[in-house]
Amino acid sequence: MGAFADDIYEGTSNIPVFSESVEASVPVEPPKIDAGSAIVMDAMTGRVLYEKDAYSKKPMASTTKIMTAILAIEHGNLDDMVTVSKRAAAIGGSTIHLRAGEKLSLRDLLYGLMLNSGNDAAIAIAEHIGGTVERFAEMMTEKARQLGAKNTNFKTPHGLDNPDHYSTAYDLALITRYALGNETFNQIVRTQTAQIQGRSLYNTNEMLDLYPGADGVKTGYTSKAGRCLVTSATRGNRRYISVVLNCSSRTARAKSSRSILDYAFDNYKMYTLVKTNDVLARVPVIKGIRKDISILPVDEIHLPLREDEVENLKAKIDLPDQFHAPVDSGIEVGSIKYVVNGKVIASTSLKTGPGVRRKEFFDYFLQVIEQWVKSVRISG
């Protein structure tokens, strides 16, 4: 059975849909930006708040190193000493000037990787964790698949141009969202300066200085990828991830990132749609010791919403019309979906509350006695 919430919630606790008395508002137009692809994702829920060609495969330059870093953190010991190979020392592009045979801790290499965008640090990490660069790249792609980044393929740990090395703005946001769940990763990417073995490191992420609340993540540039930037920004209980790919300049990527993050912070607020202790409905129970059973959500739902979405938000639930006793507690029996303009934006399963056992002979007997006592009192 499917029905809109307003049709079936008579007599139950308030369904978590917002009042229709909210003053009507017009959606704010998203900004126009100088980026080939872009996205803003809510870090807590994964909801996409802004997108521009976010699902097209593109080279992503050194934003690749987000995956390099999280694999190193998860598979390595940060205190391990890593010996720099000739291959690592010989790599071109952005480096931290590693020398063949030099030994650094994996922790120091991670700072060199994420602050100065060291390609040599990327190779050294890949060889240490994966045995070879090629095997490490396979590990990177495997991890991407596990995270749902289906349009991403890694061939290097650094991101220098390769026709088989690509991602999408959406996939990079997914990967970053996962990485930000790791405190070590968070600590590294929000660091602006560091010292490692006589080297002074300076974070290439201009947003750390330019944007209020910015706390990560990674820059990138190659001739084919253009200027790229993944940014994290936190204000209060809101954290958003922005990705811009193929921008024409550092100024353009910073301006584009600022514009789409401003759009998200200015237009979205976090709402709690449902809590796990909310009784959303009561369904009749045939031949039960109680006449009905409470229905609760399996998960809480928190979601960033614009004002115009709040006005148009509807809750749609699917539940059986009735149950036959006995009914156990905690059984998944349906779902609730939150819909805006015909599009489902959130959902969770519904489960039964405290169980209802079947009426037995003694229960019916007691019911007869209670009715008789009641009738005697009335007649007396």
Lookup: tokens for 305: 């919403």
Please state the residue numbers annotated as binding site for substrate: 218
Which residues are CB-contacts of 131 (< 8 A; sequence separation ≥ 6)?
none
Residue whose tokens read 């399963």:
349
Q: DSSP code of 80?
A: -
Whether residue 35 contacts residue 220, with contact meaning beta carbons closer than 8 Å, is answered with: no
What angle, rounded to 10 degrees, do the helices at 65-75 and 119-130 form? 40
Active site residues: 62, 65, 117
List, as residue ranges, the binding site: 218
Residues 6 or more apart from 146 whose CB is under 8 A from it?
A: none
241 closest CA partner among 36, 33, 43, 30: 43
Give the 3-state DSSP-derived string for 155-217, with helices as H, strands as E and coil as C: CCCCCCCCCCCEECHHHHHHHHHHHCCCHHHHHHHCCCEEEECCEEEECCCCHHHHCCCEEEE
Beta bridge partners of 297: 350
Residues 350, 335 contacting (CB under 8 angstroms): yes
Q: Are 15 and 273 in contact (CB under 8 A)?
A: no
Distance CA 76, CA 73 (A): 6
